Amino acid sequence: MPDNQLPVASPTPVNQAVQHNLSANLVAFCRLLREHELPIGITEQVDALRALELIPLEDFESFYFALKTTLAKSLQEQQIFDEQFERFWQIWKQASSTQQKLEQSQEDARKKQNAFQYKRVQQNFTTISDWLNKEEDCEEEKEVAGYSPIEVTTEKDFSLFHELEVAEIQAWIDMIGKLLANQMSRRYKISVSKGHLDLRNCIRKNLRNSNEIIDLYRKKKRTKKLRMVLFCDVSKSMELYSRFFIQFMVAFQKSFRQIDTFVFSTALHYITPYLRAGPISKILDDISENIDDWSGGTRIGKCLQDYLAKYQHNTLHRNTIVFIVSDGWDTGELELLDNAMFELKRKAKCVIWLNPLKGYHDYQPSTQGMQTALPYIDFFGAAHNLQSMKEFAHYLSQMPLRGR
Amino acid sequence: MKFPEVEDIQKKFEKEGYIADSSIAMAIYLAESLKRPLLVEGPAGVGKTDIAKVMASSLGTDLIRLQCYEGLDSNAALYEWNYQRQLIQIKLEERENKTIREKEESIFSEHFLLKRPLLKALTHVKSPVLLIDELDRADEEFESFLLELLSDWQISIPEIGTIVAQHIPYVIITGNRTRELSDAIRRRCFYLWIDYPDYEKELGIVRSKVEKIDQRLAEQICRFMEKLRQEKLQKIPGVAETIDWAKALVVLHQHHLNADIVQETLGVVLKDMADIQHVSQSLSEFLESVGLTQKPLPEGFVTESAVHAR
């Protein structure tokens, strides 16, 4: 291969590495890193080349640290870098002697990958069969687990909630809303009547007109604008709870302006407009009329991905609290869920997962969906009855909302 | 690493009592020679801030420090007018027949300008080391504001004009990862991750930082710390804690660790009630696994920790 020729897209590390021109190799290496989602631009490449000019190239350790410092810009990126560096440059170092060995190891890697995929498929299969087999038991369990005894004996249908209880839920959610909404920022804004004197503005604005300081300007702390995004699982496995959660969602919508609500089972639906529509009976009618896959299967990962693709720009930023209400039975691909949760955790202020099954005494978050999501969750709560709502409100009041 | 410039940095740092391994030395070397900001991340207490201090003294230049906090704005970071003096000036000039323009010129002159760390760093006579500490604590607005400074090395003050850096400062930015820094900041910096040191490195640090420490005690401390960091703790102790502990034990004239002295001084190492309880409950096993078995006590003698264990 001539020195100046760049390798074709996604070549194997071996033919990528066996070039003698260092800069061409570096470009190829950057390309490999980019394929592994390191955002390497021209600046980084130039930095790396300039760094290589400063070090003795025969020292492999210097070479490694120089590239690492200039190309990988976070701990995660450094980990990816380490893996790829090993693959790429070690090969280059010993390319001729070990070519065969490497092909072998690649073959192994491919086999490993296939085995992994096979396992994935199997796992999904077991999830579905488990889910189908256990469904009946689960429903029974949930009736015991989910509701306090009085609620079970009175009525299962939460749309027929006693007025008092609805009021109580609303009161708790109001409180949660207040806890979240009234975070004071430490940044200031100009205020007419309250707060400390803002000398900067006093001088600046008064001097324009006269010698005297006549109008006083003050500054007070801004209120932080927190946003919320609420995802409610309305799949079959959550059927018993979904009516309760409709109330939950309506109450949230009422006390908290900055909230966007979605429901999902196999697909994602944006329901904030319906929730603003008036009494609960009308809301229920509206929703059942417009959403056809209510009580279907669950594909949390896909639905969260849809959200990230379509809605995140308007609703998700660092002051957003993400609520997910679901039992974590995911029949979709777990990798999608993993990616989506990672993104949510990275972009939002915190991720709160409420799982009604958690109210059950020996509940273990053992479903694969739940297992996948768990590392990304800041608070994992129950929210199946009023008691758990109280615990939840307590958590929020203690939550260090600042300084994340 | 066989490379004179980097070895030189390592030696200079060691003279200042900072043990820099190859990755640290290389990152500093590249940041110094290519004049790029260096973003240093890592857990609390591993010596991120110290890098800047040691770098300043090894380069023989000043350290300018900007401690970030939530709500930090350009007034506190860049410059502020001395409003009180301006008000007095306005009063003093009341009877003079100056035009508004002249008045403005007099009160918005450099005389009334209070330089905050960033402006100080730009106008410094010799390239200083600018330490922007715990940037993740500041809000994103500040981070974006910083971007402009880090790429152009100039700032504009409306009343005076644009100030361009005469000597580009060496910039060290530290972060605890309490929140992710934006990609834009990362892209402008070189990156260095410092983890907890391994046994050898920590021993080196303790011996260079704590004079007159018994070799055996230093080894025991480092082994204890290494083990401690593997536990599930709320707040994992950093190197700073190791050094504090070693100093404390030297002051207490200890030559080796034993259950009692560990129990009594655990508060120096662990800063969380739950952690202290967790460790002191299993302290004897813990010491055993580090290779410190208790001497048999005289009969009938019961230590405080033994009562705890029951």
Q: What is the pLDDT of residues A178-189, one digit of tens each?
A: 666 555 556 667
Of B93, B140, B190, the CB nearest to A70: B190
The residue with greater pLDDT, A1 or B111, is B111
Strands B154-157 and B161-164: antiparallel
At residue A96, does pLDDT exceed 50? no
Q: What is the pLDDT of residue A127?
A: 29
Residue A279: pLDDT over 80? no
Packing angle of the helix pair B83-92, A199-207 (nearest 10 deg): 30
Count Cβ neighbours within 10 Å for each residue of A43-58 and write b for 16 or more, e otherwise.
Answer: ebbebbeebbebbeee
Q: Would you give per-residue pLDDT tens digits along chain B (310 residues)?
A: 567 888 899 999 988 888 888 899 999 999 999 989 999 998 888 889 999 999 999 999 999 999 998 778 878 888 888 888 888 888 888 788 778 788 778 888 888 889 999 999 999 999 999 999 999 888 878 888 888 888 888 888 887 888 899 899 999 999 887 667 888 888 889 999 999 999 999 999 999 888 888 888 899 899 999 988 888 777 889 999 999 999 999 999 888 888 888 888 989 999 888 788 888 888 888 888 777 665 545 555 554 544 555 4
- Helix or strand holding residue B191 (H, E): strand B190-193
Apex CA B18: angle with CA B205 and CA B251, to 5°?
A: 45
How far is the C-alpha of A231 from the C-alpha of B72, rounded, in Å? 34
Q: Note the pLDDT of residue A198.
A: 80
Count of other CB atoms within 10 angstroms of residue A240:
18
CB A47 within 8 A of CB A31: no
| Cα–Cα nearest to B243, from B10, B55, B18 | B18
A interface residues, B as partner, C-beta within 8 Å: 39, 41, 43-44, 47, 50-51, 54-56, 59, 61-62, 65-66, 68-70, 72-75, 77-78, 185-188, 199-200, 202-203, 207-208, 211, 213, 318, 346, 402-404
**Strand order across the A350-354 sheet:** A268-270, A259-264, A227-233, A320-325, A350-354, A379-381
Chain A contact present for B172, CB below 8 A? no
Q: Tokens in use for A331? A: 């029949």
How many other CB atoms are found less than 10 A from the CB of residue B207?
16
Q: What are phi and psi of B171, to 5 degrees?
A: -110, 130
Question: Within a 10 A sphere around the Cβ of A208, how many other Cβ atoms?
Answer: 9
Give the per-residue pLDDT at A154: 28
Contact A336, A342 (CB under 8 A): no
* Tens-digit pLDDT profile for residues A26-50: 888 898 898 888 888 888 888 998 8
Q: For residue B179, what are the CA distances in angstroms to A207, A350, A398, B137? A: 42, 11, 19, 8
Q: Could you give the CA distance from residue A50 to residue B77 in angstroms, rounded to a whole number? A: 32
Q: What are phi and psi of B49, to 5 degrees?
A: -65, -35
Kindly tell me the sign of the dihedral angle through the C-alpha atoms of A165, A167, A173, A179.
negative
Q: For A148, what's the count of Cα atoms within 13 Å in the CB-facing half-sphere?
A: 9
| Alpha helix (H) residue ranges in A278-365 | 280-290, 300-310, 312-315, 334-347
Parallel, antiparallel or unpaired: strands A379-381 and A350-354: parallel
Mean pLDDT along residues A71-90: 86
Beta carbons of A389 and A165 less than 8 angstroms apart: no
Q: Which of A74, A185, A346 sits opposite B191 (nearest CB)?
A: A74
Are residues B187 and A44, on separate chains, in Cβ contact within 8 Å?
A: yes
Coil/strand/helix, residue B172: strand
Whose CA is closest to B134, among B142, B126, B145?
B142
Residues A331, A298 contacting (CB under 8 angstroms):
yes
Distance CA B22, CA B7 (A): 9
Environment class of B253 (CB within 10 Å of its CB; exposed 0-12, middle 13-18, buried 19+) = exposed
B94, A211 Cβ separation under 8 angstroms: yes
Pair A353, A377: CB distance under 8 Å: yes
Chain B residues closer than 8 Å to A186 by CB: 69-71
CB contacts of B172 in chain A (<8 Å) are: none
> How close A99 gets to chain B, by Cα (Å)?
28
Determine whether the interchain pair A207/B103 forms a contact, defined as Cβ–Cβ distance below 8 Å.
yes
The set of residues, in sequence order, having a beta carbon less than 8 Å from that of A281 and lying 6+ positions away, is A159
Kindly tell me if the per-residue pLDDT of A220 is higher than 80: no
What stretch of H or E contains A260? strand A259-264
The first and second tokens of residue A320, run together, are: 């957003």
Within 118-157 of B, beta carbons closer than 8 Å to A belong to 137, 139-141
**Which residue in the set A72, A73, A402 is minimally distant from B70, CB to CB?**
A402
Q: What is the mean pLDDT of residues A39-64?
A: 87
Residues A104-154: tens digit of each pLDDT? 555 555 555 554 443 333 333 322 223 233 333 333 333 333 323 333 322
Q: Is residue A72 over pLDDT 70?
A: yes
Partners of A152 in beta bridges: none
Q: Judge contact between B191 and A74, C-beta under 8 A.
A: yes
- Rounded Cα distance, B38 and B50, in Å: 13
Query: How far is the C-alpha of B227 from the C-alpha of B283, rounded, in Å?
Result: 12
Average pLDDT (A247-265) is 76
Q: Is B100 on the interface with A (CB under 8 A)?
A: yes
d(CA A114, CA A162): 56
Strands B113-115 and B79-81 come out as antiparallel
B178 to chain A, any CB pair closer than 8 A? The answer is: yes
Within chain B, what is the greatest distance between any pair of CA atoms?
95
- Out of A91-105, A336-350, B47-61, which region has the weakest mean confidence (pLDDT)? A91-105
* Cα angle for residues A102, A103, A105 (degrees, 5° grid): 60
pLDDT at A265: 81
The secondary element (H helix, E strand) that includes residue B100 is helix B100-107
- Tell me how many degrees the CA angle A263-A268-A273 measures, rounded to the nearest 5: 60
pLDDT at B191: 93
pLDDT at residue A169, rounded to an integer: 66
pLDDT score, position A186:
61
Of B31, B103, B191, the CB nearest to A73: B191
Across A195-204, A337-346, B243-252, the highest mean pLDDT is recorded for B243-252
Which residues from A are below 8 Å from B192, CB to CB? 69
Contact status, residue A124 vs residue A49, Cβ threshold 8 Å? no
> Which of A250-259, A372-381, B98-107 has the least mean pLDDT?
A250-259
**Strand-strand pairing, A196-197 and A320-325:** unpaired
Strand pairing class (A184-191; A227-233):
unpaired
How many angstroms separate the CA atoms of A374 and A370, rounded? 6
DSSP β-ladder status, A196-197 and B38-41 = unpaired
Q: Provide the phi-psi class of B300: left if phi over 0, else alpha when psi is between -120 and 50, else beta.
A: left
Nearest C-alpha in B relative to A189: B71
Report the half-sphere exposure of B41 (CA within 13 A, side-chain side): 24
At residue A75, the pLDDT reads 84
Whole-angstrom Cα Rg for chain B: 25
- Which letter, b or e, does each residue of B138-163 get, where b requires 16 or more Cβ atoms within 10 Å of its Cβ? bbeebbebbeebbeebebeeeeeeeb
Mean pLDDT, chain A, rounded, equals 69
